Amino acid sequence: MIGELFIGAVGAFGGTVGLSLLLNAPPRSILPASLTGMLGQLVYMILRLHMGQSLIASYFFATVTVAVICEICARVMRMPSTIFLLSALIPLVPGYSFYAMLLALVQDNGMQAARCGMEAVQVVAAIAVGSAVTSVVFRAMMMRRLRRAEKIQ
């Protein structure tokens, strides 16, 4: 159990560092983004493998966790949240599901391809919704704070 989590965490950290470097992210954003990506992968693995949550719920809550931390990092470091979010979400991308779908297509197994393809699309939708919901909530909180500041002045 601990070994799985450790391997997943190290892989997520390394993948996030690699993509951050590939995207030419500012050097001071690489470590926070990588730690956030690692935490997102750990949240997914704990929810899915150790708590028995559904695939979609696990990805959704892992994405919300990543997006919240990225929004906080963006405010603290005064940078756009997408700098952190693009790299930190990479460990959650369902690459194996897409690979399994294409492999099933090549092997002329349409039912398996459809199952893997639908799984991948659902995961991508959960990631998109989790990210969008978090972004909307943070923007609404910022607008509310700005309105309060205007009323005080």
Q: SS3 string of 22-50?
A: HCCCCHHHHHHHHHHHHHHHHHHHHHHHH
pLDDT level of residue 153 (50, 70, 90 thresholds): low
- The domain containing residue 34 runs over which residues? 2-152
pTM of the model: 0.87
Distance in angstroms (rounded) separating the CA atoms of residues 146 and 153: 11
Give the tens place of pLDDT for each residue, 59-97: 999 999 999 999 999 999 999 988 999 999 999 998 899
Structural contact between residues 7 and 33, judged by C-beta atoms closer than 8 angstroms: no
Distance in angstroms (rounded) separating the CA atoms of residues 34 and 87: 7
Q: What burial class does residue 86 get, using C-beta atoms within 10 Å of its C-beta: 0-12 exposed, 13-18 middle, 19+ buried?
A: middle
Model confidence at 132: pLDDT above 80: yes
- Could you please report the per-residue DSSP string of 123-150? HHHHHHHHHHHHHHHHHHHHHHHHHHHH
Within 10 angstroms of residue 105's Cβ, the number of other Cβ atoms is 15
Q: What is the pLDDT of residue 42?
A: 93
Closest by CA to 102, choosing from 92, 116, 91, is 116
Residue 78 DSSP class: T
- Count: domains in the chain: 1
